[in-house]
Amino acid sequence: MEKEFIKPNFAATMMAAVPYRDMKKTHQVILENFPEAPCLPVMTRSFRWLFEGVPCLVIDREKKQMYMAPPEEKEQELLEFYDKYEQQDLEYFATTPKAAPFFHSMLERLKEDRPAAMKWVVFHTAGPVLIGDMLPQVDGKPAIQHETLRDVLIKAVNMKTRWLEQKIRQDIPGVEIVADLPETTLVSFTSAGGTGNREEIISAINEGFTDLKCLTWVHCCANIDWTILTESNVDVINFDAYQHGEKVALYAKELQKFLENGGMLGWGIVPVIDDFLSEESVESLVEKLQKNIDLFVSKGIEEELLVSSSWILPSCETVLLSDEQSDLAFKMTREVSQEIKRKYGFE
């Protein structure tokens, strides 16, 4: 990795999708809990905001479904798309205030009253593999299985991510930017019954991050073959440390090399399943995190390198929790970060 970034030293941040519907409350919750690395929130369960400027997209309002039409039926849209891509016209791929008011509202809030502690601004969209797996074709097969549609989605993800990076740089100069393109369906490609091609998956992930100058991040909360990410160009691998820490530790050799090359790890240590969350305390989660760290070190990962390269997060999005449960998950994330920082002298 050629890029150099500030080491997180257990800085706390979050996944974007939240249950809140009041923007001022959302701003307040984020800034109270994540002043070092506030995240641009996603305040909808709809994915339509991801698809501005994407050709071949059909929205069936009666069935409340989206799918991708055969490219030959949308030739003019495709020609315009590729023309804008060749011109590197980032504005064509903008995420507008109409589609994603929550992004723009949070950016305005950060511009108006920039937190003194802020070092990073984090944003999430969706990775190209995830989008291609999620969006069906007319016949129900994932769009990623169609060569042209796959190419369209990878390029669209990349251009929209680059536009967001540019927008944040313009609005909030001097801050480090984190672009998370989650890939939560990788397990379907890497499981025993999966049909994914390893090289194609790594290539799609890398292409999604092409020409980005910011810190690149992939979240996956399932247990996968983690070498897919250690062998990609991603800067941060974010995993569910609450449920899968021991399994991720099996890849210690690959993770040590990843960290040596400048990579970082995002420890999703605070559960976002209500039954688990209600059983835990900050103390129990710090203890669980420490056991995971000790396990990684016992497997051959250099401790000083590991802890300086570590982020603290909830294990996934809080969108399926109640407002109160989400508040608790974020508060616990902040406090776990504070406690583990004290423990390692990162205050």
pLDDT value at position 187? 84
- The alpha carbon dihedral of 82, 86, 91, 95 has a sign of positive
pLDDT tens, position by position, 118-169: 999 999 999 999 999 999 999 999 999 999 999 999 999 999 999 999 999 9
The whole-chain average pLDDT of the chain stands at 95
Cα-only R_g, the chain: 20
Q: What is the pTM of this model?
A: 0.95
Q: How many CA atoms lie within 13 Å of 198's alpha carbon, on the beta-carbon side?
A: 11
Which tokens sit at 134? Answer: 């999620």
146 CB-near residues (< 8 Å, 6+ apart): 68, 71, 137
pLDDT band (50, 70, 90) for residue 2: low
Long-range interactions of 109-118: CB distance < 8 A, separation 24+: 109/27, 109/31, 110/38, 110/171, 110/172, 111/171, 111/172, 114/172, 115/31, 115/35, 115/38, 116/35, 117/35, 117/36, 118/35, 118/36, 118/37, 118/38, 118/175
Does 194 score more than 70 pLDDT?
A: no
pLDDT value at position 190? 64
Does 3 score more than 80 pLDDT?
A: no
Complete edge-to-edge strand list for the sheet that includes strand 215-220: 11-12, 310-314, 264-270, 236-239, 215-220, 176-180, 120-124
Domains of the chain, start order: 11-344 (3.20.20.210)
Does 196 score more than 90 pLDDT?
A: no
192, 197, 198, 204: CA torsion to nearest 10: -130
- Answer yes or no: are the C-beta atoms of 215 and 120 closer than 8 Å: yes
pLDDT tens, position by position, 254-298: 999 999 999 999 999 999 999 999 999 999 999 999 999 999 999
pLDDT tens, position by position, 288-345: 999 999 999 999 999 999 999 999 999 999 999 999 999 999 999 999 999 999 999 9
